[in-house]
Structure formats: structure tokens, C-alpha cells
Amino acid sequence: MNRIMFVCLGNICRSPMAEIIFRDMVNKAGRSDEFVISSSATSGENVINGVGASVYYPAKKILEEHGLSAQGKRAVKLNAADYDDYDLFVCMDSGNVRSVRRIFGGDKDDKIRMLMDFTSRPGDVSDPWYTGNFQTAYKDIYEGCEGLLSAL
């Protein structure tokens, strides 16, 4: 079993997009039995009184344009107890990597990765929160997910 946790700052744009795109890719490859797929935030900003925010509307919209639904996904915060429950923590940018290491107090089993490291162009996923460009983020995330799936 491959247990994959995608991580970004808010869990309302990039990591839910990765979760939903990757799950669809895994399903289409007929490999759903091999994976547990989830996503979470390094910040608790989008979880109020235990209730997580929905996926940010423009992210939801770009997913829908590609035939995918973000229905039901709510933001959750990553916590230290998640470390043993997943095999890989796949981060959207280098700031996420630093935050994830802080939450886990290190990375003793070498589980933290960057999504774009699974492509021919490593670096940060284009952050639509700042660029406003959800199509570019979708393309980055899609490529990263393709690379991740073929690596597993």
C-alpha cells in the first residue's frame, strides 16, 4: 500500500487539487487498491472550530473544467500523529517542506518530498493564491502527479 499525503499551506487550493487529480489518475490506471490518498495544510487558518473550509472556488472550478469534483473536501491541518500513518508527504513548495519538518520534529524515515521533483522541472508548484493562475497550477500539479504515479 502507498499512503500519500499531499501538503500545502492552506489545503484549499494546491494540495486538494493534487489529491483529487492523483486519485483520478490512480483510478483510471486501475490501481486504486494500492493507494491511500489524502491532503492537508501546514497552517490551521482554514479550520475554524474543527470545521475545515471547502476548496477555494477558482480551484474547484478548474477541477470541474477537467471533469473532476472537489465536492465534500474540507481543509484539515497536518499534525504530528500523521507521520506514521503515511509513507510520503508530498509538498507543493519549499516553504511547505520546512513547515512539515517543523510539525514532525524532523523526518526520521525520509518521507518528505516536493511534488515537482517527480518532473523534469523541479521547484515549487506555481502558487495560484499569488499568481491567480489556476490553469498553470493545474498543469504543474498534473505533471507532478504523473511523475509520482510512475515512480510508485
Active site residues: 8, 14, 127
Query: What are the residues binding ligand 4NP (CB under 6 A)?
Result: 8-14, 45, 129
- Please tell me the distance from the alpha carbon of residue 116 to that of residue 76, in angstroms, as a whole number: 23
Q: Which is nearer to ligand 4NP, 5 or 13 (CB)?
A: 13
Ordered DSSP codes for 58-82: HHHHHHHHTT---TT-B--B--GGG
**What's the closest the beta carbon of residue 34 comes to ligand 4NP, in angstroms?**
26
Q: Which is nearer to ligand 4NP, 28 or 66 (CB)?
A: 66
Cell of 4: 500519500
**What's the closest the beta carbon of residue 120 comes to ligand 4NP, in angstroms?**
23
Q: Which is nearer to ligand 4NP, 45 or 107 (CB)?
A: 45
Q: Are 37 and 26 in contact (CB under 8 A)?
A: yes
